Amino acid sequence: MSDSNRITRQIEEYIAYKRSLGYGIKIEAQELRRFAKYTRDIGYDGSVTAELAMQWSSLDSSFTRKYMARRLETLHTFSVYISAFDTKAQIPQNGVFGKAHMRTNPYIYTDDEVMSLMRCANDLHSPDGIRTRTVSSAIGLMCATGIRVSELTSLRITDVRTEGGYLFICSSMFKKDRIVPLHPTVITKLSEYRAFIESKIGVRDKEDYFFVTSYGGRFNTRAFEYAFKLIRPQVLHDVAKPPRLYDLRHTFACNTVKRWYESGEDVNRKLYLL
């Protein structure tokens, strides 16, 4: 079986093009490559067609309608692009399986809930005390700065610039860097956290990750989300849909706008800062 065909080559061209514009498209690329593999497996070497897109989108009877809609949407976007170069390419119609996305209603945490979550982190299994301190500090930093979960877990020691009073967020969405100012109380807590970690595992290199878990292991996004899932029921057990870590970012944004409004600031002029 050939390792390539027309659709495979076109998909790799499309992925390279999107990434050259700064888009990560990790999940989209995975789905498109699955589609390319499907076309190779069935021995197809022609252009994308609406029928082929429908077949692949609904390939498994266990797929939900939302998942099929997302697969079809991914092929629709790719087909719009490639049809400019391949006159035989067809563009499948979106919406055949319903809506591909449903916006999740954000949950706005109260200050008491955030403090309770941070305290509940002390109940996590933590043989050397690092995991509990890390989860508590990470929740506090998200609440105080509104940074994304992935941005927090990607912070290096050199990015946490307590002397200058800011975080340096490197190559985030659309490959852009930005500076996030820190409140003096946050600077104090981050300095205390770094001193605590180094008292446990020794002085670290500036390129090491700032947040670590037990025995100095990598504290990645999955580890953070799993820890949050364990402590969340202790605080938020009466809500219909469990809030997410990402809702701490929404909470920061809402509290900031509310604070500007209450202090008489022109909110519309300052929104770009968020």
- Structural domain contains residue 100: no
pLDDT of residue 170: 85
CA angle, corner 34, sides to 75 and 36, nearest 5?
70
pLDDT of residue 29: 95
**Residue 109 region by backbone torsions, left for phi larger than 0, else alpha for psi between -120 and 50, else beta:** beta
pLDDT tens digits, residue range 251-260? 999 999 999 9
- Structural domain contains residue 101: no
Give the number of other Cβ atoms within 10 Å of residue 50's Cβ.
17
Partners of residue 166 on adjacent β-strands:
161, 181
Q: Region 110-139: what's the mean pLDDT?
A: 96
Q: Region 207-222: what's the mean pLDDT?
A: 96
The total number of residues written for the chain in this structure? 274
pLDDT of residue 2: 52
Q: Region 48-60: what's the mean pLDDT?
A: 95
Q: Region 106-114: what's the mean pLDDT?
A: 93
Q: Is the predicted pLDDT of residue 102 greater than 70, yes or no?
A: no
50 contacts 56 by C-beta, under 8 angstroms: no
- Structural domain contains residue 97: no
Task: Label residue 230 by pLDDT band (50, 70, 90).
Answer: very high
Query: With helix as H, strand as E and coil as C, how does the chain read?
Result: CCCCCHHHHHHHHHHHHHHHCCCCCHHHHHHHHHHHHHHHHCCCCCCCCHHHHHHHHCCCCCCCHHHHHHHHHHHHHHHHHHCCCCCCCCCCCCCCCCCCCCCCCCCCCCHHHHHHHHHHHHHCCCCCCHHHHHHHHHHHHHHHHCCCHHHHHCCEHHHEECCCCEEEECCCHHHCCEEEECCHHHHHHHHHHHHHHHHHHCCCCCCCECCECHHHCECCHHHHHHHHHHHHHHHCCCCCCCCCCCHHHHHHHHHHHHHHHHCCCCHHHHHHHC
Do 56 and 134 sit in the same domain of this protein? no
Q: The CATH number of the domain where 143 resides is what?
A: 1.10.443.10
Do 148 and 66 sit in the same domain of this protein? no
CA angle, corner 181, sides to 176 and 186, nearest 5?
130
Do 77 and 195 sit in the same domain of this protein? no
Give the number of other Cβ atoms within 10 Å of residue 134's Cβ.
25
Do 193 and 268 sit in the same domain of this protein? yes
Q: What is the mean pLDDT of the chain?
A: 92
Q: Region 92-117: what's the mean pLDDT?
A: 86
**Residue 4 region by backbone torsions, left for phi larger than 0, else alpha for psi between -120 and 50, else beta:** beta
pTM for this model (two decimals) = 0.69
pLDDT of residue 177: 86
> What percentage of the chain exceeds 70 in pLDDT?
97
Do 190 and 121 sit in the same domain of this protein? yes
Do 131 and 180 sit in the same domain of this protein? yes
pLDDT of residue 171: 74
Q: Is the predicted pLDDT of residue 73 greater than 90, yes or no?
A: yes
- Structural domain contains residue 34: yes
pLDDT of residue 109: 94
Which of residues 95 and 213 earns the better pLDDT score? 213
- Structural domain contains residue 37: yes
Q: Based on the structure, what is the number of domains in the chain?
A: 2
pLDDT of residue 173: 65
Q: Is the predicted pLDDT of residue 238 greater than 80, yes or no?
A: no
- Structural domain contains residue 153: yes
Task: Label residue 1 by pLDDT band (50, 70, 90).
Answer: very low
Q: Which structural domain, as residue segments, surrounds residue 248?
A: 111-273
| Of the candidates 133, 131, 134, 173, the residue with the CA atom closest to the CA atom of residue 151 | 173
pLDDT tens digits, residue range 152-200? 999 999 999 999 999 999 877 666 788 999 999 999 999 999 999 999 9
Do 250 and 211 sit in the same domain of this protein? yes
Do 19 and 126 sit in the same domain of this protein? no
Q: Region 105-128: what's the mean pLDDT?
A: 94
Q: Region 95-115: what's the mean pLDDT?
A: 85
CA dihedral 193, 195, 201, 206 (to 10 degrees): 90
Lowest mean pLDDT among 45-54, 91-100, 120-129, 242-251: 91-100
